[in-house]
Structure 1
Amino acid sequence: MTLLFLAAFLGPVPARAAEIEISRVSLENADEGYKLGISFAFELPRTLEDAIMRGFPLYFTTEVELTRPRWYWFDEKAITASRTVRISYNLLTQQYHAAISDGLHQSFNTLEEALSLVKRPGRWLIADRGVLKPGEVYNVAVRMGLDVARLPKPFQVHAINSSDWRFSSDWKQFNFKAE
């Protein structure tokens, strides 16, 4: 009886926010610097699909942090980088548009095609050569999520109260030895 009273008083338990899974991540040395290869697996919640179809752009931001552990002080932050992909829908042309923060713009016929730039971005140069100390081991942390700070103000207020708008991955961590 007490349990029924609590359930009625507290209301329904909110559903867990949809999650983004980091399915593959690697950091590699290249001639020009250090490149991040990453891919994500997720299904866009219906609420976010509806927002895009109504003409509101969504921003997906990937963040990368490389830190070097130090025994005598806080860990040294060697690299912090982020990249944002904007997905939008043009009602007049009935096409989806994707724009990456460093300049690439493309048009697509379907939402799934546009989301491919979010799910499987190309290798991304996160730092020039010489930024990391050769032979040192760095902790790499990566995550991606919907950037609600870039949404129109009314949606920002709504996003705080709605689990559908809290759409992100957990931090994925691994070690990388600089060469």
Structure 2
Amino acid sequence: MRGHDVRLQQWVVSMLLRGWILAVLLVFAPLSHAAEGVDVVQAHLENSDDGVKLSATFAFELNRGLEDAITHGVPLYFTTEVELTRPRWYWFDEQSLTESQTIRLSYNVLTRQYHAAILGRLQQSFSSLDDALSLIRRPSRWLIADKSALKPGAVYTVAVRMRLDVAQLPKPFQVNAINNADWRLSSDWKIFSYKAE
């Protein structure tokens, strides 16, 4: 009987250890997806005849869940946000400017074409997902401020980020996106200084 008790104890310990390892894997598996995100490779402001334009480049990959969503007809919205603040020694920083640009990425099953549209301005069609993502990763320079909006000679703190905008998804997908790490795709704010001319 003693040999049987020892084997039973070993089996119980083995099962508990396997259960513990499985639990650890299940807890940390979503974190590996959540750690994936968007990198702001470069961002700077440029002066033009029209005003001030943002030039930015982003690096990211879509995970399997997002790729499946897009190929099944769910459009994805990528929003780039830029904020300009002017430091003040006597009070809080002045919020000078907040602008955003959203690019809608969709797939047409009938034509087998991907469409990337900068809302309200431009739409392009692409034969591959990677080509469509290139427009999101390297968007064209866009006007964020008229020349008169910024004070000449003033130094501004500029913050830029890009994120998957789940608030623009169809309602059933918004609920899923909030609870699913696959849908959390965002960059940290990239901060730099800009002197207005």
Give the TM-score taking structure 1 as reference length.
0.93
Computed over aligned residues only, the root mean square deviation of the Cα atoms, in angstroms, reads: 1.6
Q: Of 142, 167, 171, which residue of structure 2 is paired with 1:149?
A: 167
Which of 22, 39, 44 is equivalent to 2:62? Answer: 44
Letter in 2 for 1:106: Q
Q: Report the Cα distance in structure 2 between the residues aligned to 1:32 and 1:124, rounded to whole angstroms.
A: 10
Residue 55 (structure 1) aligned with residue 73 (structure 2): yes
1:8 shift after superposition: 6.2
Question: Unaligned regions of 5+ residues in structure 1, if any?
Answer: none
Cα offset for 1:45?
0.8
1:1-179 matches, cutoff 5 A = 11-13=26-28, 14-16=30-32, 17=34, 18-179=36-197
- Counterparts of 2:69 and 2:49, CA distance in 1: 41
Q: Within 2, Cα distance between the matches of 1:100 and 1:128?
A: 20
**What CA deviation, in whole Å up to 9, does each residue of 1:152-172 have, x standing for no partner?**
111111111111100010000
**Aligned with 1:19: secondary structure?**
coil
Per residue, is there more helix in 1 or in 2?
Answer: 2
1:6, distance to aligned residue in structure 2 (A): 6.7
What secondary structure is seen at the aligned counterpart in 2 of 1:28?
A: strand
SS of residue in 1 equivalent to 2:73: coil
1:47 alignment partner AA:
G
Q: Aligned residue pairs: how many?
A: 177
Rounded Cα–Cα distance in structure 2 between residues aligned with 1:74 and 1:89: 45
**TM-score normalised to structure 2 length:** 0.85
Shift of 1:102: 3.4
Offset of residue 28 of structure 1? 1.2
